[in-house]
Amino acid sequence: MSSAFTRKVINGRPLIARNVSGGEMANRTPPRDIQRIACVLFAMVLYTAVYYQSGGARHYLMTSSSAITSAAARAGTLQVTTWNVAAINNNPFEYWITYNDEYEKLMIQIEQFINTPTEAQDVPVHKVFTQDMFQELDHELTERAKWKSVAEYWEKEYANRKIVSEFLKDPLLGSKRLASMPDRITNTINLANGEAVFRPTVINMYQGSLDNQQQWWSAWKEFMFRTTLSINDKTGQTVKQIPYQMLQPISPAKYPDITPQEAQDSLPLQTLCGAIFDAILVHMMNECAASPKAWQALKKTMVEKLNKQKTSKTLNILADSHYVKSDIVTLQEVSMSLVELARKHAILGKQFHIIVSSEFLDPVRDQNSVVFLNKDSFPAGVDKEITSQVMKQFDENVPVAVGDVLAVTATNVQGDRYLIASFHGDTNGLATKPVVQAVNAIVPAGHTLIFGLDANTYEQGKPGKTQDVSEFAQFFSTELHLTSCWGDTVNASNYTTFNARTFLQPQLQKGCRSTEKRSKGDVNPKDFILFPEKTFSIQKTWKDNTGEAKYTENMAFPTLDFPSDHGILATILAKNSNI
């Protein structure tokens, strides 16, 4: 198998520990350097002062003059951070990112190519996927896969369609899923050994050369028909398969626009449409970019920073001074590999108990809600996991997936008892109210609820379809007597997401032009930290889409520096003395 196909999806790099104790510093200091000894002594005095002030809790010296001090150790306050870290996406071009002029220019060229192609751009399919390529493909379909020939479809339906107006933008081809279904299955294939391989195309992490149609076609054919891969099937068995063998028939029950004949021929037909789709993408990139090398170099940088370094960037932001002080961190859409790397991380692993459900894990979906408890504030970690009690509260109509809820109880150094929950709402936010109600209903006596969630609420909801943010705030404040880090009344335009799909992904109807990122994108107030009213006063709430405790409004993200499509939300709460 060509090594160009093989890439590790996750590339977490543990950070080197920078916790320097006074003692170590003294040992490394040359004895004759009196000034430096004085400096170290000063640091030790400072360390001791902070140590006693905070009630003797254990701290790490980051530098000689500042210590990590969790808010609880300062007694009476609590820092809570919540962040949907977002699942790994294997297409670096899927969302508009905020990057540089070269990127903007390329994406605007593509947008023009797709939305207002010139006659010279909107050529027939057989100009980019040639008759010869078709014949080779049909040979593979009939001889290797032993499927039916699709020569009739090719001649009557596809060869003469115009690539943009009649292929990419044909809504019927979209609703039949003839190009998007094979993409979904073969875009990125996870191997049994933990690595992943990529179909030779534009819209994934494939890094082989795609300088021209012939180069793409040779690699594509090889991948789809001759590359044997060891993968785990649904039952966990390791099996050997060639990518074309993984394709699934398209069911007319699920996709009613497909005709009975097309459904019957759906395996060879989707292979043909998938090949045409990839051929058009490669052609379009090479037409729109300054040169074939230019877009491939740009893609390489994006793959590196957006995809491969995603986990390490996420962990490093959490380990940074703004968030490592949190008493409680709730995360959503966390993969198990991120959990394991966090536990091994030199700072996070030392500072936090890192908790994932022991019961509700779906290894295939692999998107989990997670809680971090600061070891200074919660030395004993979790008292009890009570996720199952939450899951029992609602019926099957509530769209909650396994892994979306985590609920635990824990006791802090001051003896205060908490129920801490982390939750990832469904895309439309329809599970959010039932889940918040369910969690609130099981708070044990003497415990205070702290609930960090991606509520998936919208600035303007549609009744029965998408959860409106103001209506959600009304619900938790008046019906449940909870409040939020934003207060009781939420400003519906105080967003925590700002993302928009480009046209470089298989569902073109969801693509936004550069000028439509704001109007057609997902720009919404989605994230919350909830707690009972009257228990705390809010000292400070902030959001962050830069990794530097700052939020740039009107900026589409992720960016190459900020790895999620949700901002981080953090709050410092002061415990009210009268309760």
Ligand X SMILES: *[C@@H]1O[C@H](CO)[C@@H](O)[C@H](O)[C@H]1NC(C)=O
Query: Closest approach of Cβ 450 to ligand X, in Å?
Result: 17
**Cα separation of 370 and 423, whole Å?**
8
Any residues with CB less than 8 A from the CB of 400 and at least 6 apart, and which?
391, 394, 426, 431, 435
440-476: b (≥16 Cβ within 10 Å) or e: bebbeeebbbbbbbbbbbbbebeeeebbbbbebbebb
Angle at 514 between CA 317 and CA 202, to 5 degrees: 75
- Nearest approach, Cβ of 228 to ligand X (angstroms)? 54
* CA separation for the pair 267, 151 (Å, rounded): 14
Instruction: Pick the closer one to ligand X by CB: 60 or 451.
Output: 451
Q: Which is nearer to ligand X, 60 or 486 (CB)?
A: 486
Q: 222's torsion region: left (phi>0), alpha (psi -120 to 50) or beta?
A: alpha
Least distance (Å) between residue 486 CB and ligand X: 5
Q: Name the minimum Å distance from CB 484 to ligand X.
A: 9
CB 494 → ligand X: shortest distance, Å?
Answer: 4
- The verdict on whether omega for the bond into residue 558 sits within 30 degrees of 0, i.e. cis, is yes
DSSP states of 483-522: EETT-SS--TT--SEEE-B-SSSS-GGG---GGGHHHHSE
Give the count of alpha carbons within 13 A of 16, CB side only: 1
Closest by CA position to 89, among listed 558, 573, 574: 558
**Token pair for residue 106?**
């390329």
Judged by CB, which is closer to ligand X: 165, or 493?
493
Our CB check for ligand X shows the closer of 130 and 541 to be: 541
Q: How far is the CB of 202 from ligand X (least distance, A)?
A: 36
Query: 147 or 528, CB closer to ligand X?
Result: 528
Q: Which helix (H) or strand (E) holds 419?
A: strand 417-424
Count how many Cα atoms sit within 13 Å of the Cα of residue 565 in the half-sphere of its side chain. 20
Residue numbers of the site for ligand X (CB under 6 A)? 486, 491, 493-494, 541, 553
Residue 540 CB, shortest distance to ligand X, in Å, is 8
Q: For ligand X, give the closer residue by CB, 248 or 491.
A: 491
**Smallest distance from the beta carbon of 71 to ligand X, in angstroms?**
17
CB nearer ligand X, residue 384 or residue 540: 540
The smaller minimum CB distance to ligand X, of residues 149 and 491, is found at 491
Q: What are the distances in angstroms from CA 318 to CA 15, 321, 347, 556? A: 12, 8, 9, 21
Indicate the residue among 129 and 486 with the shorter CB distance to ligand X: 486
Q: Least distance from C-beta 543 to ligand X, angstroms?
A: 7
